Amino acid sequence: MTTARTRHRVASGAGGRGSAGVVVHSAPLMLPVAGPPLREGALAVRRGRVLAAGPRREVAGAFREHREVRWDGVVVAGLVNAHTHLQFSCLARLGRRRYGSLEEWSTAFDAAYAEASSAPDALATGRRRGRKVDWAAAARKGARAAIASGTTAVADVVTDMEAAAAYAEAGLTGMAYLEVLGDTEESWHAEGRERLITALQEAGLPMGVSPHAVYALDVAVLEDLALLARSYRVRQQIHLAESAHEREYTVRGTGPLARMVRDLGFDFAVLREGGTGLGPVDLLDGMGVFGEHCHVAHAVYLTPDERRVLRKRGTVIALCPRSNRTLGLDTPQVAALLEEGNPIAVGTDSLASSPSMDLLEDVRLLRDLAREQGYTDADLERRLVGAATEGGARALGMASGPGRIGALIPGARADFAVFDIDTGTREPYRTLIEEGPGRCAATVIAGRRVWQRARS
Ligand SMILES: [Zn+2]
């Protein structure tokens, strides 16, 4: 096909729809997520966007001059990892152990992070002086592992700014969220606030903000961050109700979490004043933290009233069940969240608390937990694949508009994964969840093949 001929066809309209540069991706089974499964389905893609999705014969017929790429297996809308910390991929040894609580894991993590960062306190006490880790390289490694298991977008919490662009450099879409932790009201107004605003302005790419958790900052700082996020239209994500002791901390300022925070040397008002009298959800909700611009990670320990507050605000909950299991926490309330209609997404969390970046492994565990918790509807698998795609897109604020992600429909980014599975006549979503983990064969982002498994 020559450029001249193409111009002629488009100009004359003789070819029907302009077909220049169209690639048709076809497969025996396609899960566009936004619509029903397509047997012998196809996607027409141009300049990184989906032009059409439907039965192969119709899609191929609509674009007269196209190149076809035939995939074996199942093509699925790209997976969206709604909560991870790619830079901690170099601390995977921590994720291979088991712990008894968030506090136990945090203590182990803080020591490993301090050593990896050659933190001043480690130097002052004369402990082994580790060489500072290259956080950007570690994050790119995590991003490659995510891509190789079918992930095309991430909500990546970044503690060290040098890792902020790694997800994009590796080819992923999504957003990095700069983490804020450890600030008292005093240190925040002395320099923390200014430092954050400067970092966001100098980032060179749109970034969100992640106040680490309700116990990691003074209440006044959390409140100011909520205001900043709304006035600058910055997205937020926050760890919520991950510890069994978070409620005791916010209500009374006591318990294991309070001890941990004191041991870290943080002089927060909650500790001095004996708590706020409010549970974590009511406390944050009163500050205006929740809304569609904010999503939360974990939310293991919620009451029905707290689930209702998050639902009313349109706040997506990113469930990370394998990380919860590593930390020895209770299981996330997936059945209740589905039955009550809370918007949910799925995250792996970092390799420092999870055995792999394979998001479908978390989906499979959520499916098993939902059944154990008494969820009986036949739509379970379809809804969980939806959580791992459209749900994640919603968490990132990328579920609508041009270039949307999380579903294969006209106008969306052409982000998809191919899984080496033969579903036969079996239920496609269930088969994907049961057999998909570890079976990603290729990952395509914005129409570009960014990864393909080497032939054995
Ligand atoms: Zn996390």
C-alpha 226 – ligand 1 centre gap (Å) = 19
83 CA → ligand 1 middle, Å? 6
The CA 444 to ligand 1 mean position distance, Å, reads: 26
Task: Measure 227 CA to ligand 1 centroid, in angstroms.
Answer: 23
- Ligand 1: distance of its center to the CA of 161 in Å? 16
pTM of the model: 0.94
- Report the separation in Å between the CA atom of 237 and the middle of ligand 1, taken as the mean of its atom positions: 10
CA 397 / ligand 1 centre spacing (Å): 19
Q: In a structure prediction context, what are the per-residue pLDDT tens digits for the chain, which is 456 residues long?
A: 233 332 222 222 233 456 789 999 999 999 999 999 999 999 999 999 999 999 999 999 999 899 999 999 999 999 999 999 999 999 999 999 999 999 999 999 999 999 999 755 544 444 445 568 999 999 999 999 999 999 999 999 999 999 999 999 999 999 999 999 999 999 999 999 999 999 999 998 999 999 999 999 999 999 999 999 999 999 999 999 999 999 999 999 999 999 999 999 999 999 999 999 999 999 999 999 999 999 999 999 999 999 999 999 999 999 999 999 999 999 999 999 999 999 999 999 999 999 999 999 999 999 999 999 999 999 999 999 999 999 999 999 999 998 899 999 999 999 999 999 998 889 999 999 999 999 999 999 999 999 999 976
Q: How far is the centre of ligand 1, averaged over its atoms, from the C-alpha of 87 (Å)?
A: 11
Q: How far is the CA of 63 from the centre of ligand 1 (A)?
A: 44
- What pLDDT sits at residue 14? 30
Q: Please tell me the distance between residue 426's alpha carbon and the centre of ligand 1 in angstroms.
A: 35
Tell me the CA–centroid distance for residue 242 and ligand 1, in Å. 9
Give me ligand 1 centre to Cα 139, in Å: 14
CA of 451 to the centre of ligand 1 (A): 26
Residue 132, pLDDT score: 85
Domains 3-78+407-452 and 80-95+134-395 share a fold: no
Please identify, in words, the CATH class of the domain defined by 80-95+134-395: alpha beta
165 Cα: distance to centroid of ligand 1 (angstroms):
18
Tokens 């095309």 found at? 152
- Cα 350 to ligand 1 centroid, rounded to whole Å: 6
What is the whole-number distance in angstroms between the Cα of residue 115 and the centre of ligand 1? 19
Crossing angle between the packed helical segments 256-263 and 102-117, to the nearest 10 degrees? 20
Distance, CA 122 to ligand 1 centroid (Å)?
23
CATH for the stretch 3-78+407-452: 2.30.40.10
Q: Distance from the CA of 22 to the center of ligand 1, in angstroms?
A: 40
Question: What are the residue boundaries of the structural domains of the chain, listed by start?
Answer: 3-78+407-452, 80-95+134-395
* Predicted local confidence at residue 17, as pLDDT: 58
**C-alpha 254 – ligand 1 centre gap (Å):** 23
Give the Å distance between the CA of 349 and the centre of ligand 1.
5
- Going from the Cα of 27 to the center of ligand 1, the distance in angstroms, rounded, reads 35
Q: Tell how far the Cα of 297 is from the centroid of ligand 1, in angstroms.
A: 7
Q: How far is the CA of 425 from the centre of ligand 1 (A)?
A: 38
Cα of 328 from ligand 1 centre, angstroms = 15
288 Cα to the center of ligand 1, angstroms:
22
Query: Ligand 1 centroid vs 351 CA: distance in angstroms?
Result: 10
Q: For residue 239, report the distance from its CA to the centre of ligand 1, in Å.
A: 6
CA of 58 to the centre of ligand 1 (A): 44
Residue 364 Cα to ligand 1 midpoint, Å, equals 20
Centre of ligand 1 from the C-alpha of residue 432, in Å: 26
